[in-house]
């Protein structure tokens, strides 16, 4: 499948208030957040649509002030059947986003790593009956939606005291397509084989990189753009949307760098995520 990209023709809040159609479409929410829909189903992955981190770190060295506003409010996304979180960091499992998003979608399940179950219940405000815990190597089946979990290494592969992985990648299958959201990760042994086995058509990969200064200050990093492109090549994924940049000044990479590498790569289609775009696998009409 080929990745198509078109400008949004309506405000994102208006698009996401309407029911999803049959076509596979994606919308970037900033950082690692995406809306993924197809086959009449809509899911939200890693939404960070608040200023909770700016409030938490105000006055600190890394203040977490947003470089761009949220493209939509948590209460403006409707017709959601599942909200997914790849790990427990606040920009992926956000107490400033989840309660309102889940209240607005009372039929939606919250799918989180087993290692994040307790913190997810605390931050989301939902009851345990709405939470689905998943571990690397497991699969969750919902009507019209399948979610498979892989390992991820947010600089390192980590497990909690019960042996559950702290960081996951999630492969989302709906509308006849599989989209792989790696979560926050760097390359690690065995990653290519795990990802290749998913037979994904599209990868959503973080490209803000990593360095000693960030690591020394408790800010774990991710792949850079070259590493993300190499994973797609090795795992035989022909399309990629690069993300996890442009939100926090201390933890980003220049959009120009991402776009330049995307334009020169040998993948059939690789792009730097934009909040004013709708992405589709195959023919897609502008949103």
What is the per-residue DSSP string for 120-143? HHHHH---GGGEEEE-TT-EEEET
* Domains of the chain: total: 1
Q: Flag whether 115 is in a domain.
A: yes
Q: Flag whether 286 is in a domain.
A: no
The boundaries of the domain holding residue 265 are 3-281
Q: Would you state the pLDDT for residue 56?
A: 84
CA-wise closest residue to 246 among 255, 238, 237: 255
Q: 224-237 as b/e, with b when 16 or more CB fall inside 10 Å?
A: bbebbbebbeebeb
Q: Flag whether 158 is in a domain.
A: yes
What pLDDT tens digit does each residue of the chain (287 aa) get? 789 999 999 999 999 999 999 999 999 999 999 999 999 999 999 999 999 999 888 887 888 999 999 999 999 999 999 999 999 999 999 999 999 999 999 999 999 999 999 999 999 999 999 999 999 999 999 999 999 999 999 999 999 999 999 999 999 999 999 999 999 999 999 999 999 999 999 999 999 999 988 888 888 999 999 999 999 999 999 999 999 999 999 999 999 999 999 999 999 899 999 999 999 997 444 55
**Using alpha carbons only, what angle is made at residue 95 by residues 214 and 184, rounded to the nearest 5 degrees?**
40
CA–CA separation, 205 vs 222, rounded Å?
9
The bridge status of strand 109-113 relative to strand 131-134 is: parallel
Count Cα neighbours of 86 within 13 Å in the Cβ-side half-sphere.
31
CA–CA separation, 124 vs 83, rounded Å?
11
> Any alpha helices (H) in 59-111, and if so which ranges?
98-104
The bridge status of strand 202-206 relative to strand 239-243 is: parallel
CA–CA separation, 24 vs 9, rounded Å?
17
Q: Would you state the pLDDT for residue 286?
A: 52
- Both tokens assigned to 191: 């990653």
Q: Which residue has the tokens 């209460």?
A: 75
Which 3 state secondary structure label does DSSP give 67? Answer: coil
Q: Flag whether 287 is in a domain.
A: no
CATH number at residue 270: 3.60.15.10
**In sequence order, which residues have a C-beta less than 8 Å from that of residue 41 and are 6 or more positions away?**
20, 81, 143, 144, 145, 174, 175
CA-wise closest residue to 116 among 155, 157, 80, 165: 165
Q: How crowded is residue 138: how many other Cβ atoms within 10 Å of its Cβ?
A: 13
Q: Flag whether 68 is in a domain.
A: yes
Q: Flag whether 107 is in a domain.
A: yes
Q: Flag whether 132 is in a domain.
A: yes
- Both tokens assigned to 190: 């065995």
CA–CA separation, 44 vs 259, rounded Å?
25
CA–CA separation, 216 vs 122, rounded Å?
29
CB 235 within 8 A of CB 196: yes
Q: Flag whether 54 is in a domain.
A: yes
CB 133 within 8 A of CB 118: no
User: What's the whole-model pTM score?
Assistant: 0.96
């Amino acid at each position: 499948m080929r990745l198509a990209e078109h400008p949004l023709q309506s405000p994102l809040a208006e698009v996401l208030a309407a029911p999803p159609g049959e076509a596979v479409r994606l919308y970037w929410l900033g950082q690692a957040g995406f809306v993924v829909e197809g086959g009449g189903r809509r899911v939200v992955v890693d939404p960070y649509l608040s200023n909770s981190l700016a409030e938490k770190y105000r006055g600190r060295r890394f203040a977490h002030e947003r470089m761009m506003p949220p493209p939509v409010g948590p209460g403006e996304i409707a017709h959601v059947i599942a909200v997914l979180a790849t790990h427990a960091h606040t920009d992926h499992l956000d107490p400033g986003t989840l309660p309102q998003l889940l209240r607005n979608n009372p039929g939606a399940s919250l799918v989180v790593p087993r290692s994040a179950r307790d913190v997810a219940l605390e931050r989301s405000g939902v009851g345990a009956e709405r939470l689905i815990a998943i571990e690397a190597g497991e699969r969750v089946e919902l009507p019209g939606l399948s979610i498979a979990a892989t390992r991820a290494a947010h600089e390192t592969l980590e497990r909690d005291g019960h042996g559950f992985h702290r960081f996951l990648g999630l492969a989302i299958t709906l509308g006849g397509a599989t989209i792989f959201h790696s979560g926050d990760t760097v390359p690690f042994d065995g990653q290519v084989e795990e990802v290749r086995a998913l037979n994904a058509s599209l990868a959503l990969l973080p490209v803000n990189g990593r360095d000693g200064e960030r690591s020394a200050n408790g800010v774990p990093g991710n792949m850079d753009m070259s590493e993300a492109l190499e994973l797609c090549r090795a795992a035989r994924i022909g399309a990629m949307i690069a993300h996890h940049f442009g939100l926090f000044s201390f933890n980003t990479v220049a959009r120009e760098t991402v776009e330049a590498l995307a334009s020169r790569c040998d993948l059939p289609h690789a792009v730097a995520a934009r909040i004013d775009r709708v992405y589709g696998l195959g023919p897609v009409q502008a949103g």
